[in-house]
Structure 1
Amino acid sequence: MWSFVVHAFFLLVALGLHGRVCAQMGSDLSARDGKENTSAPITLTVSKEGGNKSSPHLYGIMFEEMDRSGDGGIHGQLLRNNGFQGSHPGLTAYAPVGDVDIFQDDVSPVSHAITSSLQVQVMPDETKFVGFSNFGYNGIPVINATYRCEFWMMGAYAGPITLQLVGSASGKVYANHNITVHSVFGDFTHHETSFNSSASPDGDNEWRLLFDGSKVAGASLNFGLIQLFPPTFHSRKNGLRKDIATAVDEMQPSFLRFAGGNNIEGLQIDSRWAWNRTIGPVHERPGRQSDWHYPNTDALGLDEYLWWCEDMGMEPVLAVWSGKSYGGILSGPDLEPFLDDIRNELEYILGPSNSTYGSQRAKNGREEPWRLNYIEIGNEDDFTGGCDTYPDRFTQIYKTIHSEYPNITLIASTIDTNCLPESPPEGVWYDFHYYRKPDDLVAMFNWWDNQPRSQPVMVGEYGSRNTSNPDGVYWSFMQMSCSEAAHMIGLERNSDVVRMAAYAPLLQHFGFTQWSPTLIGFDSSPDSLTLSTSYYVQQMFSRNRGETILPVNTTADFGPLYWVACNINDTYIVKLANYGEKNQTVHVEIADTKSGKLEMLSGPRDGINLPHNATIKPTIDNVTVSHGIYTIQMGSWSVAVLVVS
């Protein structure tokens, strides 16, 4: 994701070579002449004949673990550093409670994968309850709900364990739950329980585990792989954080591209995202140091991604490792062993439950094969030194997959012909990523107009960037979101060939900013979920889709007003974006229609939904006319969707 600026100059040069006659750009994208606040009225007459088919999967999402978007984000587990994974984790997020010493103990592994545990050493004369705390990802979200808690324990102890959720500064106890355990010396035992909590007014909270120190005086106990889950989306046991997942679901995305993004590649070959290290019980997943320089637990693993797709009705778009990491590239004979890895992964996903890897899937809770129709080969193989070898690597992997699964659509991770085979196989899609300043993204409105219709594409990552604060949280504002809407109108007009498109990144924990802006931000405090203005644009466009893109006769050229019309059965949809300072009066004519709704998002050019303070939201009004002519007042920097029947 960090490599896109390199390509910007060449893209902008090429932009001038594309464009339909009906897609002429306005000479002034912003239309800020200061003389008049309202432009001359524009009439759009929607034709009910002709047009081109629209992809049913156009609007989806892309996910990779970054900005603590998975661990500490959409994955529901709330405790940080719970498996001591990654490079040099130390005691991050832990603190002693009472007169004890705590250590990372790498001599007492929980399993072959979880190679450290937390040792709690108790003073010889201890008489009180003691233990340790974990403050999660800058705090624990404490809500009025039932939590599920798991931990592994080793050491001679029979007696009570107290689990608490406590305000770190206030000391207020929101949950206090007792269980009785029997732990033994030399072996870890697993314990699981549930408890209710009241709500905290803030995110400054911690989880605590306490035990009777008098029973362990002068000795020690070990604890490993502690887990804490609030209610999860669709009540999945190792599931998604419900509030974040619900916001994603409410965009109604049609596909999920995973597991990256750069994070699939690996800082080194051995630290790539490896599917077989992300399946099965969590205590069998070793995790790794991610490309974004923090530990990944991989508790959000292959099956969890596929459950996510199924629960939200999305098509999975699986990325397979193509031989390129940031620490080295494998091709030719050196790549052959990894082709077997891809075969095994696909048998795990698609094979019958009596096959070698299909039986592993069944053992892990999924008897029936998963659905998988799309696979991307690598990620951004036109960057970071991958271009020269990608034609051969792509061909090796393509033949491996296509020979056994000829009905799966395969996607190249680049559209650059210099990085592709001289004669790519028929039916291959091409992935293209770009991030632009607002004016530059609008200038790409007609980028796909002249794409050969026999060469389908996926825009796997795009967005308008705001780099005003490179050291912290910088967020979408209305000019950016309007530029995305104008560009999305261009995508939708060409959705016979642009089959999938995903704004990226999706999620951001405000306390761990590495890349901004994103669609959805959050932290550990109540009601922290912040939906950006760009989120609402995505939601408005995704929720209102047609099957056919319809011709529109107009009295004006594109810019600063942009539009697209489509229909599904007897419902007609017109999407509008005003990328400029002037108000626009738009007359939309759709014969034989009488009523519907108008959804509008508008605000000042620099209007912004700040973290914890989202003030710009869409409004929805019912509209009724007598002769199929709808007059829409588009304020400056506004996006609208008209749906009538």
Structure 2
Amino acid sequence: MKGLLSTLLFASVAIHPAWSVTLSVSTAGGNASSPLLYGYMFEDINYSGDGGIHGQVLKDNGFQAGTAATLNAYAAVGGTTLSIDTANPLTTAITRTLKVANPSANSGTVGFANKGYNGVPVIAGTYTTSFWVKGTYSGNVAVSLAASNGTIYNTVTIKVQSTSKQFTEFGATLPVTYSSTALDNVWQVTYDAALATDSSLNFALPQLFPATFKGRSNGLRADVVNFLGDIGGTFLRWPGGNNLEGNTIATRWAWNETIGPVQNRPGHLGTWTYYNTDALGLLEYLYWTQDMGIKNVMAVWAGHALNGDVVTGAALDPYVDDILNELEFILGDTSTQYGALRASYGQVEPFTIDFIEIGNEENLAGGCASYASRFTQIYNAIHAAYPDITIIASTTDTACLPSTLPAGVWTDIHYYLQPNQFVKLFNEWDNWSRDWPIFVGEYASTSDNSGAKTYWSDLIGSCSEAVYMIGLERNSDIVKMASFAPLLEHFDLAQWSPDLFGLDSSAGSLTGSTSYYVQKLFASNKGSTIKAVTSDSAFGPVYWVASATDAGTYYVKLANYGTTTQSVTVKVPGASFGSASLILLSGNPTTSNYPHSVSITPTTTSVSGSASAGYTVSLPQYAVAVLVLKK
């Protein structure tokens, strides 16, 4: 973009008290815009994996917290006594199971309930459920979704024949015709105590899945993925984030412990205060991107944990080998050791990896001094084996990078800022070297302009993000990808806010923040070529960028980072359009969207005018909009 557009689009970030702006969009020339500009960043934070996008909704189902495991997610039914049993492991990975001791009378309907992640979602549709049981029992077992007051939404009866010698798995489908907004629903198992020859039964790894995306076994929640997909992003960066690094080397995300049947996954202590079951593992991430039709940006561990421990030189070699093994598992054919292992899990065809990021935020937590050598060691190994994969360094800080980056390497940069700070960065990339590609891997407005923490995005913060994103799009010849972070939170279990969208355990709780709708406006309305724009006003308080598709649709993105309504007229001399519409996000600047109380969403209206005379639109304070012009 430097040369053709930098003069025409030079940015001043001062906020001028303009009342009207006229823009003239050129139909000639322009610079190619990155087709991958807007995407997603995910790590298991805020119970966004377990308890969020992953479909399994029962909490602590494998007691993978080890000695820290509790029965807080469980409740006795019919007078049973519940305990965590280490003497009857399911597998070497799931070493704790639920012992359900019958009441002394040894009669009546008894069992246990699981409360989920602050409630079990009850959503109309067909669930799948399963559990393992050990102990002598012959008879029916009822599996139900129920309210805390005992009301049963639906029940399925499973014929169980189990012994005390080994665990046996049982499962069924559970149709549900009712959706509940309650936050205290439970999943429960009940049976006839008199039919249990032993005085107790052991249950292991209970599971409950609502409908999964594409019907995948151990898959993602279909409703959550569909809500995410509505944004229109093009890539997913995974598995982190801090959760990749681990608080210690031992608690880093280890790919080979997240594959295979879930009963063989031990889980690990995540970075964000809770244990991850790792039911959302390597294959699940790959199916996630494959099923959504988006690109993988896979991060690999780079020898650095958040406590400052670092592995370098020869000591790093085994971890480099581990990365190559992971890539062989993903990309290798069935003649290779790890490609054959992948095939044994049901995925014969290799996946595709286009991007690998080496580490995460290696400029922080004591990682900077050794990152150049660690990056080079890992880069050389990956590039030699897979020269077509684009490698991304996890920082743009030159103090942490090799003195000369290998050709084709991108660098990552992260911003968590106040709104005014984002606006000041509007023209950050205007004069950046066109030989240095950028990935803005994480960004969000996380506090107001006084510095007070923002719990949930409001329109002022989201508008400032839109201003910054307009700057990214204007420079999207060199800014290749960008992703808001964090992606998702379970509302009452979050460690970090604000997040792009969230949910709780009630039906209909999926809630997009104001930033969610900004992301959707920008990702879903984007041309392939950035067009030059001339104006009768400098940037501020109105900011803009124009793009066009090969088919001749023009998108003009607008943001009014100011307290007064602005009138904007857009002309496209020499063009002709059959329709014009404005997609507008506006409202009370300090209002946020909350579960079951969403007040700020985009509206679409038709706009009169012509390409030569112009299309005039009104932008309220802190509004974000896209003018769509179609032939």
Q: TM-score, normalised by structure 2?
A: 0.95
Q: Partners of 1:69 and 1:387 in 2: how far apart?
A: 29
In 1, are the aligned partners of 2:30 and 2:530 still within 8 Å (CA)? yes
One-letter identity of the residue aligned with 2:116:
G
Q: Partners of 2:321 and 2:173 in 1: how far apart?
A: 42
What is aligned with 1:227? 207
Q: Partners of 2:328 and 2:540 in 1: how far apart?
A: 50
Q: Does 1:178 align with 2:186?
A: no
What is aligned with 1:294? 274
Matching residue within 75, 94, 107 for 2:54 = 75
How big is the shift at 1:214? 0.8
Matching residue within 11, 32, 35 for 1:56 = 35
Matching residue within 438, 441, 445 for 2:422 = 441
Q: Partners of 2:581 and 2:339 in 1: how far apart?
A: 48
Matching residue within 119, 142, 145 for 1:139 = 119
How big is the shift at 1:637? 1.1
Q: Partners of 2:50 and 2:19 in 1: how far apart?
A: 51
One-letter identity of the residue aligned with 1:156:
T
Q: Does 1:615 align with 2:594?
A: no
Q: Partners of 1:61 and 1:607 in 2: how far apart?
A: 24
Q: Does 1:572 align with 2:572?
A: no
What is aligned with 1:6? none
What is aligned with 1:423? 404
Q: Partners of 2:346 and 2:468 in 1: how far apart?
A: 42
What is aligned with 1:303? 283
Moved more, 333-342 or 621-630: 621-630
Structure 1 unaligned residues grouped into runs of 5+: 1-18, 32-38
What is aligned with 1:318? 298
One-letter identity of the residue aligned with 1:282:
V
One-letter identity of the residue aligned with 1:466:
S
Matching residue within 17, 26, 38 for 1:47 = 26
Q: Partners of 1:220 and 1:421 in 2: how far apart?
A: 62
Q: Segments of 4+ in structure 1 off by > 3 A?
A: 19-22, 467-473
1:245-300 CA deviation, whole Å, 9 max, x = no partner? 11101001100000000000111111110111111111111101100010101111
Q: Does 1:639 align with 2:619?
A: no
Q: Does 1:383 align with 2:364?
A: yes
In 1, are the aligned partners of 2:396 and 2:411 still within 8 Å (CA)? yes
In 2, are the aligned partners of 1:20 and 1:446 still within 8 Å (CA)? no
What is aligned with 1:602? 586
In 2, are the aligned partners of 1:260 and 1:379 still within 8 Å (CA)? yes
Matching residue within 597, 605, 625 for 2:609 = 625
How big is the shift at 1:24? 3.1
Three-state SS of the structure 2 residue aligned to 1:630 is strand
In 2, are the aligned partners of 1:472 and 1:513 still within 8 Å (CA)? no
In 2, are the aligned partners of 1:473 and 1:513 still within 8 Å (CA)? no
Q: Partners of 2:286 and 2:186 in 1: how far apart?
A: 31
CA gap of 1:360–1:470, structure 2 versus 1, over 3 A, is farther
Aligned counterparts, 1:204-243, within 5 A: 204-216=184-196, 219-243=199-223
Q: Partners of 1:205 and 1:506 in 2: how far apart?
A: 26
What is aligned with 2:139? 159
1:550-580 CA deviation, whole Å, 9 max, x = no partner? 1001101111100000111211110000000
How big is the shift at 1:606? 1.0
How big is the shift at 1:48? 1.2
In 2, are the aligned partners of 1:124 and 1:217 still within 8 Å (CA)? no
Q: Partners of 1:236 and 1:470 in 2: how far apart?
A: 44
What is aligned with 2:3? none
Moved more, 53-62 or 109-118: 109-118
How big is the shift at 1:393? 0.5
In 1, are the aligned partners of 2:181 and 2:508 still within 8 Å (CA)? no
What is aligned with 2:563? 581
One-letter identity of the residue aligned with 2:160:
V
Matching residue within 272, 296, 301 for 2:252 = 272
CA gap of 1:214–1:468, structure 2 versus 1, over 3 A, is farther
Q: Partners of 1:23 and 1:352 in 2: how far apart?
A: 50
What is aligned with 1:480? 461
1:171-221 CA deviation, whole Å, 9 max, x = no partner? 210011111011111211111111112323423200101121012266111
Q: Partners of 1:20 and 1:151 in 2: how far apart?
A: 65
Matching residue within 181, 191, 216 for 2:170 = 191
In 1, are the aligned partners of 2:257 and 2:266 still within 8 Å (CA)? yes
Q: Partners of 2:189 and 2:470 in 1: how far apart?
A: 53
Q: How many residue pairs get matched? A: 618
1:345-389 CA deviation, whole Å, 9 max, x = no partner? 000000002211111111212111101110000000000000011
One-letter identity of the residue aligned with 2:627:
L
What is aligned with 1:462? 443
Q: Partners of 1:163 and 1:130 in 2: how far apart?
A: 12
In 1, are the aligned partners of 2:8 and 2:533 still within 8 Å (CA)? no
One-letter identity of the residue aligned with 2:9:
C
In 1, are the aligned partners of 2:51 and 2:59 still within 8 Å (CA)? yes
1:321-352 CA deviation, whole Å, 9 max, x = no partner? 00011242111111111111001000000000
One-letter identity of the residue aligned with 1:600:
L
In 2, are the aligned partners of 1:456 and 1:499 still within 8 Å (CA)? yes
How big is the shift at 1:26? 4.1
Three-state SS of the structure 2 residue aligned to 1:174 is strand
1:465-511 CA deviation, whole Å, 9 max, x = no partner? 13799999811111011101110000000001100000001101111
How big is the shift at 1:243? 1.7
Q: Partners of 2:253 and 2:600 in 1: how far apart?
A: 38
One-letter identity of the residue aligned with 1:543:
S
What is aligned with 1:556? 537
How big is the shift at 1:425? 0.9
RMSD between superposed Cα atoms in Å: 1.7
Three-state SS of the structure 2 residue aligned to 1:430 is strand
Matching residue within 489, 500, 504 for 2:485 = 504
What is aligned with 1:23? 10
Matching residue within 95, 102, 109 for 1:129 = 109
What is aligned with 1:254? 234
User: Percent of aligned positions with the same letter in both sequences?
Assistant: 48
What is aligned with 2:65? 86
Q: Partners of 1:130 and 1:349 in 2: how far apart?
A: 46
Three-state SS of the structure 2 residue aligned to 1:329 is coil
